[in-house]
Structure 1
Amino acid sequence: MKNLYKILALLLLVPALNLAGNGRGKYTKSKKLSKQYSLNADGMVKISNSFGNVTITTWDQPQVTFEIVVEVNGDDESRVEKQLKDIDVRFTSSSEMVEARTFNGENSGDDDFSFWDLFKSNNNRGYNGKVKIDYVVKMPITASLDLSNDYGAVIIDKLEGRADISCDYGRLDIGQLMARENELSFDYTRNSHIDYMKSGIIRADFSDFDLYDCEQLEFKGDYTKARLHKTERLNYKADFGTVETEESISVVGRADYTTSRLGVVLEKLDITADFGTLKVRELGKNIKSVNVRSDYTGIDLIYHRDASFRFDIDTEFAGINTSGDAEITNSSKDHTEKSISGYVGRSSSSGMIKIKSEFGSVSLKRN
């Protein structure tokens, strides 16, 4: 059922791109909204928008400012003007929270502006005006942010407060998220970049992104390429995707139909994998624990030339390949199963590598 929803969402993207696309009609109308509110340094800014970019900058003042430009383009001038009039932003404010929500004034109730508002209100009249709603917001650097923006980019320079960000069919361009426990959720985004996030969770489907520096991350993704460059402590669950790292202290993962290409893992690796590939460029000199359980997954582990550890490898319907410096103390083999145990470096080492693989070869080699 989940895959069905994803396919339906892809089909809906086509008319959405038409509504927010680059094709130009004969008439373009726009309006600008400017607002300023007081907000406590530890308050919250909440924004809900679609079909445009949201740019967040921060400062050390207890103020939030909004500069919003709404633009409508189409071939029927009267309908362009009416659509521009219908689109508005509802603001609410207190010393603890400032909120801005884009909405379609033609609708009844308090529903946010959405793709369906635009699609139903215009296409039922045979009209396909193109809409762009861009926010530029300045907020206290220590305030928290709750932001939803679809069909557009989210751009943030630096934020010390916690961030909760949702972005579908768009792009993230984020500098520094300095707080702990941030939450980023995005689907169908491409070329997204996060320079630094102290800690948090990323949920991403049908996307690709780079996270360059993170102390602690939980990642959950389907059909996504995640390049998690320097992630000190990583816990991930990935289906039908790719996970790449450059350096980590510890990595814990569950990967199905996924390619896991890990760089340097300094202390701990714990992976369960089915129908994929696991490659580690280097297990660190002081590696403490490696546990790999896999089915139909090729395993290729390379360890630091000065590493010292014990190992225990069991396979079914798969081969085992080790370096010449590996001392094998026990081995057994029959028609379908093979197992070896031994050590590299010191036989009394506290470091331990355990691998159990079915239908996937295992390579454990020295760098």
Structure 2
Amino acid sequence: MKLKVFNESIIALMLMSVFSLTAFSQQIPAAPPVTPKAQDHAINDNDDININVNINLEKLKTTIKNLSTIQGKQVELAMQDLGKSLEAGFKDFGDNFDKNFNVNIPDISIDIDNPARLSEDDYKQQLADGKLVEKIKNYSKSYSVDGNDVLQINNTFGKITVNTWNKNEFKVDVQMKFGARDESTVNYMADGSSISSSKTGSVVSFKTNLFNGNSGNNNRTHIEINYTVYMPASNGIDITNRFGSVSLPELSGKTLLRVSYGGLTAAGLTNTENDVKVSYGDANITDFNSGKLRVSYGSLKTGTVNNIDAHISFSSIDIDRLKGAANVDIKYGDGFRIGTIDKTVSNINVDAAFTNIDFDFKNSEAFNFDVTTKMGGFDFNDDKVKCTYKSTDEQKGWSSTKTYKGYIGKANTNGKIIIRGNFTQVNFQ
């Protein structure tokens, strides 16, 4: 078994070890080029380039970990500045990579020691120690529905758990939990918070309304608004949840999800028009039929996917099995992996920057491919993958951009894979 290796620069491998939210990196010093070895999967053609990558991702990871305890609006503003700083730094690096590259992780100017919400462990401990007073409010409401009705939920600071049943009815139970160091503060929070609901046309909506402003003192407080939902699996759902997780069973109705500062777990989204966005959290979906997926500052893991249109930033994407088509834009991520590519796949289009791509074709039959890398690399197993064209430096002089064309299994097939990568390592197994 031979392993073909085309790699423009060891820079790509250096970068891939840095751009991971789960790993940390302080500084990678510039180093002189070394003679490449086949087992290193890298060829360095850039003898005149020195790069000093200095990005403190450990600080970024710690900052994001603290987000669940900070006031929402302040976090959004701070993280918008963070995203702009990171993207600006990477853009400058791509335009002028022969200079030092620095991304300054901005300080989040929020009082972390006096958050609006204690962590779950701290809250339970302080309750047990008698340091906090707790007040719980319960809410329940049901609506009779038909197959055209959509359930809409807008929540902050809590979990949303959806269950399915055979009744033509939406039922929503909410537990509102408030904690503070004195009874007057707890009463202020609880009395000023409510759940509003209505049915307008085909939309049944529930919204969390929290007390206005702070409680008037500096006591640490805890807010937890948890929804438990019962609905038919075939009805549509529209959920917005901030600072909390969402858990879904298998749903055949159209699903619109906006989850920020919390995770998503879904057993199966079988509709063809799903629209999912997860920010600052992980998304785990067992089966995804078709639709849009946007994940930033987290990770996306799926089981079987039919068709997917995904935009991934500062995140990873892992697909166990692809059956239809994939259109993926991934930037500054921890990698794009497809475990099994079915023979039914029609096309895969990838636009990537500062990441790596790993596709497994062991169980695939026939695809054509067109791979272009700028300051990146292309590795493949030539027992399965045949490269029929590679652009060379002799054609137009040295270029950081290389193009590779060929086929997997059999030539002249309808299935096609197109990859455009900047500072990206592409691997075909």
TM-score under structure 1 length normalisation? 0.74
For residue 313 of structure 2, the aligned residue among 210, 222, 225 is 222
Query: How far does residue 91 in structure 1 lie from its aligned partner after superposition?
Result: 0.3
Unaligned runs of 5+ in 2: 1-76, 84-104, 124-130
> Is 1:296 aligned to residue 375 of structure 2?
yes
Equivalents in 1 of 2:187, 2:172: separation in Å? 23
Query: How far does residue 127 in structure 1 lie from its aligned partner after superposition?
Result: 3.4
1:313 equivalent in structure 2: 390
Query: How far does residue 86 in structure 1 lie from its aligned partner after superposition?
Result: 1.1
Query: How far does residue 208 in structure 1 lie from its aligned partner after superposition?
Result: 1.3
For residue 298 of structure 2, the aligned residue among 207, 211, 223 is 207
Query: How far does residue 179 in structure 1 lie from its aligned partner after superposition?
Result: 0.6
> Is 1:134 aligned to residue 226 of structure 2?
yes
Q: Secondary structure at the match of 2:391?
A: strand
> Is 1:350 aligned to residue 412 of structure 2?
yes
Query: How far does residue 214 in structure 1 lie from its aligned partner after superposition?
Result: 1.1
Q: Note the aligned Cα RMSD (angstroms).
A: 3.6
Structure 2 counterparts to residues 114-133 of structure 1, below 5 A: 120-122=213-215, 125-133=217-225
Q: Which has the higher contact order (CA 8 A, sep 6+)?
A: 2
Change (3 A) 1:363 1:39: closer
Query: How far does residue 313 in structure 1 lie from its aligned partner after superposition?
Result: 0.7
> Is 1:165 aligned to residue 263 of structure 2?
no
Equivalents in 2 of 1:165, 1:216: separation in Å? 18
Equivalents in 2 of 1:237, 1:79: separation in Å? 47
For residue 247 of structure 2, the aligned residue among 155, 159, 168 is 155
Contact kept? 2:356, 2:424, Cα under 8 Å: no
> Is 1:246 aligned to residue 339 of structure 2?
yes
Contact kept? 1:291, 1:354, Cα under 8 Å: yes
Higher alpha-carbon deviation: 59-68 or 6-15: 6-15
Equivalents in 1 of 2:204, 2:426: separation in Å? 55
2:154 equivalent in structure 1: 48
CA deviations on 1:184-212 (whole Å, 9 max, x unpaired) are 1111103x311011101111111013111
1:255 equivalent in structure 2: 352
Amino acid at match of 2:389: D
Q: Secondary structure at the match of 1:83?
A: helix
Amino acid at match of 1:350: N
Equivalents in 1 of 2:163, 2:170: separation in Å? 10
TM-score under structure 2 length normalisation? 0.64
Equivalents in 1 of 2:152, 2:408: separation in Å? 56
Equivalents in 1 of 2:206, 2:408: separation in Å? 61
Q: Secondary structure at the match of 1:40?
A: coil
Higher alpha-carbon deviation: 89-98 or 207-216: 89-98
Contact kept? 1:51, 1:150, Cα under 8 Å: yes
Change (3 A) 1:147 1:8: farther
Amino acid at match of 2:293: I
Query: How far does residue 263 in structure 1 lie from its aligned partner after superposition?
Result: 1.9
CA deviations on 1:110-157 (whole Å, 9 max, x unpaired) are xxxxxxxxxx423x5323310000000001211100000111110011
Higher alpha-carbon deviation: 178-187 or 45-54: 178-187
Q: Secondary structure at the match of 2:185?
A: helix
Change (3 A) 1:163 1:11: farther
Contact kept? 1:315, 1:356, Cα under 8 Å: no
CA deviations on 1:245-285 (whole Å, 9 max, x unpaired) are 11232321000101112222xxxxxxxxxxxxxxxxx5943
State the number of aligned residues: 314
Change (3 A) 1:103 1:342: closer
Structure with bigger strand share is 1
Equivalents in 2 of 1:127, 1:189: separation in Å? 28
Equivalents in 2 of 1:129, 1:302: separation in Å? 57
Unaligned runs of 5+ in 1: 108-119, 265-281, 317-331
For residue 21 of structure 1, the aligned residue among 96, 100, 119 is 119
Higher alpha-carbon deviation: 227-236 or 26-35: 227-236
Q: Secondary structure at the match of 1:82?
A: helix
Change (3 A) 1:356 1:216: closer
Change (3 A) 1:310 1:88: same
Equivalents in 1 of 2:198, 2:422: separation in Å? 58
CA deviations on 1:70-110 (whole Å, 9 max, x unpaired) are 00111111111220111111000256221000012x44xxx
